[in-house]
Amino acid sequence: MFRSAVLNAGYRISSTHVNPLGVKSDAPWDVIWGIMRCWVKNHPIKEQPRDSPGTAILSKSPTLEANFSRAVAALSKAQAKKVKRFLPNPERHWGPKVRAGRKITSKHVSLLGLEAINGVVNGANSHKDGNGAMVDESAPEPEGIKDDENKLSTKRQKNQ
C-alpha cells in the first residue's frame, strides 16, 4: 500500500538490496511523512504518550491527500512471481568460521555458539594417530578391525 501511495504521488520507489523490508525512493521526506500521516488518519493507532516523538510527528495534519489505490508498477516482475530475494541461511551459525590452526577463545563462543565450541569446530571427537593423521572417534569403524584387535590382544596374553 505504501509503495502504491508513493507511485501515485508521482515518485519512484524500489526495494533495497540490504533489507527485505527496506525501500528507496526519490520522494522528499515531507511527501513520505504526509503519506504516513494519511495512513494513520485512516487507520488509527493506539494512544501514544504525549512526550513521544511519534505523537509530535503525527499531530500535524497531512499536507497532501495520499492515494492508496493499488498501482500497477507497485510490484516488480520478480515480486509478482514471488521469487525469493533474501534466502534463509542453510544452517545455524552459517558463514565464515575460525581459521584452521587457531585456538578457540571466548570471543569465538559468542560468534559460533556453545555447541560449535564443544566439539564441532574444535574436533573434540578426533585426535592425531601415530602418523600425524587426524582420526575421528565419532566415525564408525569398519567391520573386521575390532575382531583383528581382539585376536592380537588374546595372543599377547597367551605369550606372557
The Cα–Cα gap between 61 and 59 comes to 6
- Enumerate the domain spans of the chain: 2-80, 88-151
Residue 154 is predicted with a pLDDT of 62
Residue 82 is predicted with a pLDDT of 78
Q: What is the pTM of this model?
A: 0.48
CB proximity list for 123: less than 8 A, separation 6 or greater: 134, 136
Residue 115 is given by DSSP the state H
Task: State pLDDT tens for residues 50-65.
Answer: 888 878 877 787 777 8
Q: Which amino acid is at 34?
A: G
The Cα–Cα gap between 127 and 115 comes to 19
Task: State pLDDT tens for residues 98-135.
Answer: 777 767 777 777 777 777 666 654 454 455 555 555 55
Q: Which amino acid is at 59?
A: S
